[in-house]
Amino acid sequence: MTRTLAYWITTGLVALVFTVTGVSLLARVPHFTADMAHLGYPVYFLAILGTWKVLGAIAVAIPGLPRLKEWAYAGMIFDLSSAAASRMVSNDGAVKAILPLIIACVVVASWSLRPTGRKLLAVT
């Protein structure tokens, strides 16, 4: 029961964070647009990244599709580690670089706590 609760809390947080940031990028919310420009990303990248974030949030939240979930979790780690690296390269300081890494830890927790029905099982 505790494991299931921890799974749903971490997965809910992951889905929420990726949905909010994805929709904000797609809607070109000024704060997000300015932040991405500060990091050196072109405007068209907001639509690409926003779309993948929303799709990733949906993939980890819905039942079934374990292979898709594996790819979504991997994409989230790629996104968050790239965000941390972008912050460091842009001299934004350790605090702004650490936040994506903290979120990455929540993503890893969600991945590791997922129930058997949401795991990609080895074919023997």
- Rg (alpha carbons) of the chain, rounded to whole number: 15
Cβ distance 50 to 22 under 8 Å?
Answer: yes
Task: Enter the tokens of residue 92.
Answer: 């934004």
pLDDT in tens, 65-91: 999 999 999 999 999 999 999 999 999
How confident is the model at residue 124, as a pLDDT?
62
- Looking at residues 5-28, what average pLDDT do you find? 97
Asked whether the predicted pLDDT for residue 56 surpasses 90, the reply is: yes
Residue 37: partners with Cβ closer than 8 Å, 6 or more residues away: 43
Flag whether 61 is in a domain. Answer: yes
Flag whether 105 is in a domain. Answer: yes
Flag whether 27 is in a domain. Answer: yes
How confident is the model at residue 111, as a pLDDT?
95
How confident is the model at residue 51, as a pLDDT?
98
Structural domains counted in the chain:
1
Flag whether 119 is in a domain. Answer: no
Flag whether 28 is in a domain. Answer: yes
For residue 13, the enclosing domain spans 2-114
Flag whether 123 is in a domain. Answer: no
Flag whether 124 is in a domain. Answer: no
Question: Which pTM was predicted?
Answer: 0.90
Flag whether 98 is in a domain. Answer: yes
How confident is the model at residue 123, as a pLDDT?
66
